[in-house]
Amino acid sequence: MVKRTNTINKTLSAAQVTGHILVIDNLTKKFGRFTAVDNISLKVQRGEIFGFLGPNGAGKTTTIKMIAGLLKPDNGQIFINDHNLAQEPRQCKQETGYIPDRPYLFEKLTGFEFLQFIASLYDLEPEAFARNTNHYLKLFDLENWQHHLIESYSHGMRQKLIISSIFMLEPPLIVVDEPMVGLDPKSARIVKELFRRHAATGASIFLSTHSLEIAEELCDRIGIILNGGLRVLGNLQDLQREARLEHSDLEEIFLELTGAYELQDVIAALRSE
């Protein structure tokens, strides 16, 4: 269980930050009187796939948007690859690839033009752009579509394009919200392998998903957020001990730790109909 502290604005030492791709320290975000994220602290190691789970409205997407630099925290600090996001926003964003659950794409661009646009934002070298775009367009069966307007793309194709645009950058940190939405089984399998390969290079994945099966399969450690606070943090064995459910899968653990006890009554009622 993560301990809370009142020293929210205290600057972390270099030793506390170095060695981790992502450090979140006492992060808080409020919307009016509602606290969406409540004093969260965690660290993601280099080469780690970190799962960030929670029920709807728990604060997952708000946390992710703060990591991506789209929302400003009310309190706390975020460090990305040893850089303070508040003090060095451009540097942090250059080293972060963000894959949202509902990506916005410029529909009047072709797929290739969109990749060129993203590459220009991140100052990607022409050689790396040519090599990586060719690889990912072929990998995701988008070669024959790369010069068509994005408005003609299916939802799955758009998802594959945004994933390609991030992986071509080879960033130290990829933050991804529901990566498999809209993907066919082949593409979903490819994405899972890409995550593993990216982590094997020493980079990291911060993964939010509702698919507990994917989280259990991919993630080295998992944090569960509930009502804006970090409920538990650790590997599967740590979560099993916390939930007092030895040998249980992540679905049972998640339901126990998030207090979804009423689910049993709902299921029983449905079965009796």
At 126-185, the pLDDT tens digits run 999 999 999 999 999 999 999 999 999 999 999 999 999 999 999 999 999 988 888 889
Beta strand 221-226 pairing with 20-31 = unpaired
Roughly what angle, to the nearest 10 degrees, separates helices 111-121 and 126-139?
Answer: 140
SS3 letters across the chain: CCCCCCCCCCCCCHHHHCCEEEEEEEEEEEECCEEEEEEEEEEEECCCEEEEECCCCCCHHHHHHHHCCCCCCCEEEEEECCEECCCCHHHHHHCEEEECCCCCCCCCCEHHHHHHHHHHHCCCCHHHHHHHHHHHHHHCCCHHHCCCEHHHCCHHHHHHHHHHHHHCCCCCEEEEECCCCCCCHHHHHHHHHHHHHHHHCCCEEEEECCCHHHHHHHCCEEEEEECCEEEEEECHHHHHHHHCCCCCCHHHHHHHHCCCCHHHHHHHHHHHC
Using 70 as the pLDDT threshold, list the residues of the chain that sit under it: 1-18, 260-269, 273
CA angle 39, 17, 89 (to 5 degrees): 75
pLDDT value of position 257: 82
* Exposure of 115 in the CB half-sphere (CA atoms within 13 A): 32
What is this structure's pTM? 0.86
The span from the CA of 205 to the CA of 48, in Å, is 6
pLDDT value of position 7: 36
Backbone phi, then psi, for 8, in 5-degree steps? Answer: -65, -40
pLDDT value of position 235: 87
Residue 177: name the closest of 59, 260, 38 by CA: 59
78 neighbors 67 (Cβ within 8 angstroms) = yes
pLDDT value of position 212: 87
pLDDT value of position 107: 92
